[in-house]
Structure 1
Amino acid sequence: MLGRLRQIGRGRAVLAALLMGIAGALFALALSWRPAIAPITPPSPGSFTPEQVARGAVLAKIGDCAVCHTRDNGRPLAGGRPLATPFGTLYSDNLTPDPETGIGTWSAAAFRRAMKDGVSRTGEHLYPALPYEHFTHVRDADLDALYAFLMMRRPVHEAAPANRLIFPLGFRPLLAGWKLLFLHHGETPTDSSRSAEWNRGAYLVEGLGHCGGCHTPRNLAGGEIRSQAYAGGIAEGWRAPPLNAANPAARKWTQEALVTYLRTGISPDHSAAAGPMGPVVDSLSQVPESEVRAIAAYIVSKMGGSPSGPVAPLPDHAEAAASRFPEGAVLFAGACAGCHGQGAPMMGQGRPLLSLATALRDTEPNSAAQAILQGIEPPVAGRGPKMPGFADALTDRQIAAVLGYARARYTDRPDWKKLPAAVAKARKEGTQP
Structure 2
Amino acid sequence: MPPVQRPAASSFDPALVKQGSDLAAVGNCVVCHTAPGGKPFAGGLAMPTPFGTIYSTNISPDEATGMGRWSEAAFTRSMREGVDREGRHLYPAFPYDHFTLVSDADNRALYAYLMTREAVPYEPPPNALPFPLNMRMTLAGWKLLFLREGRFQPVPGQDEAWNRGAYLADGLGHCGACHTPRNILGAERKGDAHWSGGEADGWSAYAINAQSPAPIPWDVDSLTRYLHTGWEQRHGVARGPMAPVNANLGTIPQSESRAIATYVASVMGEPSSERRQRAERLLAADAAHSPGALASSAGSQTVPSPHDPADRGAAIYAAACSTCHDAGRPLPYGGLRLDHSTAISGPTPLNPIHVILHGLPAPEGARGPMMPGYAGVLDDAQIADLLAYMRRSFSDQPPWDDPAAMIAEARKDGVKGVWALDTGSDAPANPSKRDMP
Question: TM-score scaled to structure 1, two decimals?
Answer: 0.85
Structure 2 contact 6–69 (Cα < 8 Å) conserved:
yes
Structure 1 contact 205–211 (Cα < 8 Å) conserved:
yes
Match of 1:333 among 291, 308, 318: 318
Deviation at 1:123, TM superposition (A): 1.3
Equivalent AA in structure 1 for residue 318 of structure 2: A
Unaligned runs of 5+ in 1: 1-36
Match of 2:201 in 1: 236
Worse-superposed segment, 93-102 or 164-173: 164-173
Q: What SS is found at the alignment partner of 2:281? A: coil
Deviation at 1:381, TM superposition (A): 7.2
Deviation at 1:334, TM superposition (A): 2.2
Equivalent AA in structure 2 for residue 266 of structure 1: W
User: How far apart in 1 are the matches of 2:331 and 2:75?
Assistant: 48
Match of 2:281 in 1: 313
Deviation at 1:429, TM superposition (A): 5.1
Structure 1 contact 325–404 (Cα < 8 Å) conserved:
no
Match of 1:258 in 2: 223
Worse-superposed segment, 161-170 or 200-209: 161-170
Deviation at 1:430, TM superposition (A): 5.2
Matched, 1:127 2:94: no
Residues 142-291 of structure 1: pairs in structure 2 closer than 5 A: 142-227=106-191, 228-291=193-256
The superposition leaves residues 285-325 of structure 1 with CA deviations (integer Å, 9 ceiling, x where unpaired) of 00111111100100011111489866432384779xx6698
The structure-2 alpha-carbon separation of the partners of 1:379 and 1:119, relative to structure 1 and needing over 3 Å to count, comes to farther
Deviation at 1:129, TM superposition (A): 0.8
Structure 1 contact 325–401 (Cα < 8 Å) conserved:
no
User: How far apart in 1 are the matches of 2:62 and 2:257?
Assistant: 32
Match of 2:400 in 1: 416
Match of 1:115 in 2: 79
User: How far apart in 1 are the matches of 2:364 and 2:416?
Assistant: 25
Q: What SS is found at the alignment partner of 2:256? A: helix
* Matched-pair identity in %: 46
Match of 1:292 among 253, 257, 270: 257
The structure-2 alpha-carbon separation of the partners of 1:206 and 1:406, relative to structure 1 and needing over 3 Å to count, comes to same
Match of 1:395 among 379, 383, 386: 379
Structure 1 contact 63–209 (Cα < 8 Å) conserved:
yes
Q: Which has the larger radius of gyration?
A: 1
Q: What SS is found at the alignment partner of 1:256? A: helix
User: How far apart in 2 are the matches of 1:347 and 1:159?
Assistant: 42
Equivalent AA in structure 2 for residue 159 of structure 1: E
User: How far apart in 1 are the matches of 2:144 and 2:255?
Assistant: 36
Q: What SS is found at the alignment partner of 2:280? A: coil
The structure-2 alpha-carbon separation of the partners of 1:181 and 1:81, relative to structure 1 and needing over 3 Å to count, comes to same
Structure 1 contact 97–103 (Cα < 8 Å) conserved:
yes
Q: What SS is found at the alignment partner of 2:162? A: helix
The structure-2 alpha-carbon separation of the partners of 1:159 and 1:383, relative to structure 1 and needing over 3 Å to count, comes to same
Question: Aligned-pair RMSD on alpha carbons?
Answer: 2.4
User: How far apart in 1 are the matches of 2:75 and 2:217?
Assistant: 40
Q: What SS is found at the alignment partner of 1:426? A: helix
User: How far apart in 1 are the matches of 2:77 and 2:271?
Assistant: 39
User: How far apart in 2 are the matches of 1:428 and 1:164?
Assistant: 21
Deviation at 1:377, TM superposition (A): 3.6
Q: What SS is found at the alignment partner of 1:246? A: coil
Worse-superposed segment, 229-238 or 263-272: 263-272
Instruction: Report the count of equivalent residues.
Output: 395
Worse-superposed segment, 394-403 or 231-240: 394-403
Matched, 1:48 2:16: no
Equivalent AA in structure 2 for residue 333 of structure 1: A
User: How far apart in 1 are the matches of 2:168 and 2:270?
Assistant: 19
